[in-house]
Structure 1
Amino acid sequence: MAEIEVPSYFLCPISLEIMKDPVTISTGITFDRDSIEKWIFSYKNRTCPLTKQPLSDADLTPNVTLRRLIQSWCTLHASHGVERLPTPKPPVTKPQLLSLLAGAGATPQTQIKCLHRLRSIASTNQTNRICMEKSGAADFLAALVVGASGETSGEALSILHSLQLSESSLKTLASRPEFVNCLTRFMQSSSYESRAYAVMMLKSMAEVADDPAHLFSSNPQILIELIQILKDQICKKATKAALKVLIAICAWGRNKIKAAQAGLVGVMINLLLESTDKRSSEMMLTVLDLVCQCAEGRAELLQHGAGLAVVSKKILRVSHVGSERAVRVLHSVARFSATAAVLQEMVQIGVVAKLCLLLQVECGVKTKERARDILKMHARAWRNSSCVPHTFVSLCQS
């Protein structure tokens, strides 16, 4: 394949790979279906990738002529190992979906059969998934998640998550307490897969909710289950989804106190000890920053043997965002919980030295301001310590 010169018009302008299912957008440019669907639907772009012109609509028209040319070219070069591309299935239509949903019946057997067909349709392309949502498949699946049991309910949840629902559909689901409660029950199940789908569904709903706190206020058990998922480390996607939901929860009202009382701070510290993923570490530090805005959260941080040390260690080792969140945590402690013992610990484990270093390197302006504020706040307690840099006084005054 590498020795054969592929005609340029057979290649997708986005990926530069040979097109398997060429489709034309409203600007008249042809792309491979998978590539342009990611551009429009996954990345939320509303312009042509090549011309930068706005798209009048998101309709994708199959370029049958080009597809036949590509198939003929593949057949002509079969002796060189080029495989003929299969003819892609046409997108599903709304009447087809309505007929499928109407025939689902009320028995577990017919429902499972319908779900298997829906999964196949959803896995084909984004166009099918959008058509499924417009045809009422999301409501059908949500009803099975709540009303069915066992395999049927779990299968419906996984397909519902795969649809990548629009904001309006997610808000509709978030407004249904019975659906949220059902997701909580899934998070308590013995199936890691069901728990992961449930928390990822909650994450999607929390991202679009006008008031995320209201989404979870009726069911305090959600907080407990999110923490348990973090402890169990089901998978990376579930961990990141749980962290995003916790950020949404802890940003509101007394949820910070509830999270601290549920042991969230200790879980975050333990995860940070082993975390090597940049984005995960940033989110963990963000959760700590939120929870440490209350006295209960700071108390839990200081009670943990590695609390201050881990937060300090992440400064300048994760990202600018990670450093900013870590300094915010230390600032909350220094401002509201700085007993003589805490100040002494901050010197001994290197927190003060790290803050001094932070002032001498490139980082965010607000991060430096908070670091300097911490040093000035307790300069009298730290200035004569042998564990702080000799530049301590000058850095505090600069």
Structure 2
Amino acid sequence: MRGEVKNVTGVVDLDVTGIINYLDQTVLIIPTPKPAVGRSQILKILEQAKNSPESHQMVCLHRLKSIAGRNEISSRTHLHAAGAVEFLTSVLTKSDAVSRDEALSVLNQIELSDSELKKLSSESSYCGFMTSLMKVLETGNDESRAQAITLLKSVFDVADPENLIGSKPELFKQITRILKDKISPQATKSALKLLVELCPWGRNRIKAAEGGAVTALVEMLLEVSEKRVCELVLTILDQLCGCAEGRAEFLRHAAGVAVVSKKILRVSRVASERGVRILCSISKHSSGNTKVVGEMMEVGVVTKLCLVVQVERSGKMKERAKEILRNHSRVWKDSSCIPPHLLSSYPSPS
């Protein structure tokens, strides 16, 4: 009885005895699972880190990162129970940039609970924590900046209103930088969601507008095709166009009106509703501005609004579209920009 065994050099013709000898010489490598890390071991690592110079602290941080990266529920549970979050937060707020980046990486890996995130936003630790993250956002590498914005988003999700209202203008500048730099899809989404969370509070819309957010968002809208990102961008622009500073920045961008109009009826219902709301805000405050009204006609806003009136059976989006058309009916009604088949959709002036 003979057989064939394939090896790296080709096919070797062997008899039964040869096959047995071949298998005897073959070493099967079976990976040995790493033993679970207990709480006592983590406590020992933390104790060493606290009582060692900063040069040795990095060794301990690497060990904690290795434990957190195992994706084992038990290991992460032990990290939380042993006080790793408190230690890492201390490193984040008191150490040099290298240690700070490493601590931030571990904090993101171990998935902080709501109570731990709430503690970071509490009065006793908030200032130091925010100062440290702002340094990372300003001077860190792309990876650490992405981790910082993700952690910030998680903290603000559970923060008290006073923390949201008290957000500094510099924060909005750094969020805008994240959007412009396109570090990663996850960082971009975290930055957008953070703006959605922050903008409704206090004077945050003004801070965001003055920090360059409107321009960055319009530029994103020109390039992005992903539905969820479009919806987030249009939601924030809708919020920012609720203040004079936001509307001014929006109209200052040559493509603002056109790109918002383009997204209506092309992305999703949510995107369409936000787009019409933005145009409604611009329309209400541009009645005497012939330049803006003329631009809306030239870039196809009138045609798009007539389409909304035609395809929407009812609801606020249809009513807002009608309101915009009525507000400027004297200018737009007889315009050649409206296709004849849509003229029947043009609402009568009230």
TM range (shorter): 0.7 to 0.9
CA distance in 2, matches of 1:364, 1:159: 51
CA distance in 1 between partners of 2:45 and 2:95 (Å): 18
The equivalent residue for 2:251 is: 302
Supply the distance in 1 between the matched residues of 2:77 and 2:249 (Cα, whole angstroms): 46
1:120-166 alpha-carbon deviations (Å, 9 max, x no partner) = 11111241223312321111101001111132111011111111111
Alignment partner of 1:191 out of 141, 151, 166: 141
Structure 1 CA distance for aligned equivalents of residues 315 and 32 of structure 2 = 56
Compare 97-106 and 151-160 and name the one that shifted more.
Answer: 97-106
Residue number in structure 2 paired with 1:55: none
CA-CA distance at 1:354 after TM superposition: 0.7
CA contact (8 A) 2:121 2:163 kept: no
Any residues of structure 2 matched to 1:347-366 within 5 Å, and which? Answer: 347-361=297-311, 365-366=315-316
Give 1:90 shift.
4.9
Q: Deviations over 1:300-338 (max 9, x none)?
A: 111211110011111122222111111111111112233
Correspondence for 2:323 among 363, 373, 380: 373
* 1:106 is the counterpart of 2:45: no
- Matched residue, 2:204: 255
Q: Which moved more, 1:276-285 or 1:124-133?
A: 124-133
CA distance in 1, matches of 2:68, 2:118: 21
Structure 2 residue 104 is the aligned partner of structure 1 residue 157: yes
1:95 CA drift (Å): 2.5
**1:345 maps to which of 295, 300, 303:** 295
1:169 shift after superposition: 0.5
Q: Alpha carbons of 1:142 and 1:214: their partners in 2 closer, same or farther (altered >3 Å)?
A: same
Letter in 2 for 1:369: E
Superposed CA RMSD in Å reads: 2.3
C-alpha spacing 1:214/1:91, structure 2 compared with 1 (3 Å):
same
Report whether the alignment pairs 1:171 with 2:122.
Answer: no
Query: With structure 1 as the length reference, what TM-score do the two structures score?
Result: 0.74
1:392 paired residue among 340, 343, 347: 343
**Secondary structure in 2 aligned to 1:331?**
helix
Deviations 1:57-77 (A, max 9, x none): xxxxxxxxxxxxxxxxxxxxx
Q: Residue in 1 aligned with 2:89?
A: 142
Q: Map of 1:1-398 to 2, 5 A cutoff?
A: 86=31, 88-104=33-49, 105-127=51-73, 128-175=75-122, 176-211=126-161, 214-215=163-164, 217=166, 219-338=168-287, 339-361=289-311, 365-390=315-340, 391-396=342-347
Q: Which whole-Å deviations, capped at 9, do the CAs of 1:332-365 have from their partners, x for residues lacking one? A: 1112233222222111110010111123336983
Q: CA deviation at 1:256?
A: 0.9
Structure 1: distance between partners of 2:77 and 2:229: 30
Cα distance 1:364–1:313, how it changes in 2: closer, same or farther (>3 A)?
Answer: farther
Distance 2:314 2:228 in 1: 18
Aligned length: 316
CA contact (8 A) 2:312 2:318 kept: no
- Whichever residue aligns with residue 148 of structure 2, its letter is A
- Structure 1 or 2: more helix by fraction: 2
Between the two structures, name the one with larger relative contact order (CA 8 Å, sep ≥ 6): 2
Provide the C-alpha distance between the structure 2 equivalents of 1:97 and 1:386, rounded to a whole number of angstroms. 74
| C-alpha distance in structure 1 between counterparts of 2:298 and 2:180, whole Å | 30
User: In the aligned structure 1, how far is the partner of 2:29 from the partner of 2:160?
Assistant: 49
Distance 1:376 1:85, change over 3 A: farther
| 1:191 to partner: Cα distance | 1.2
Q: Percent identity?
A: 46
User: Distance between the aligned counterparts of 1:121 and 1:219, measured in 2?
Assistant: 35
**Highest CA radius of gyration, 1 or 2?**
2
Alpha-carbon distance in structure 2 between the residues aligned to 1:364 and 1:240: 32
> Is this contact kept in 2: 1:174–1:215, CA < 8 A?
no
Give the aligned residue type for 2:149. V
CA distance, structure 2, for counterparts of residue 137 and residue 191 of structure 1: 24
Asked if the contact 2:169–2:211 (Cα under 8 Å) also holds between the matched residues in 1, the reply is no
Q: Distance in 1 between matches of 2:314 and 2:224?
A: 23
Question: In 2, are the aligned partners of 1:265 and 1:288 still within 8 Å (CA)?
Answer: yes
5+ residue gaps in structure 2? 1-22
Q: CA deviation at 1:241?
A: 1.2
Which amino acid in structure 2 is aligned with residue 358 of structure 1? Answer: V
Could you tell me how far 1:378 is from its partner in structure 2?
A: 2.5
Runs of 5+ consecutive residues of structure 1 not aligned to the other structure: 1-77
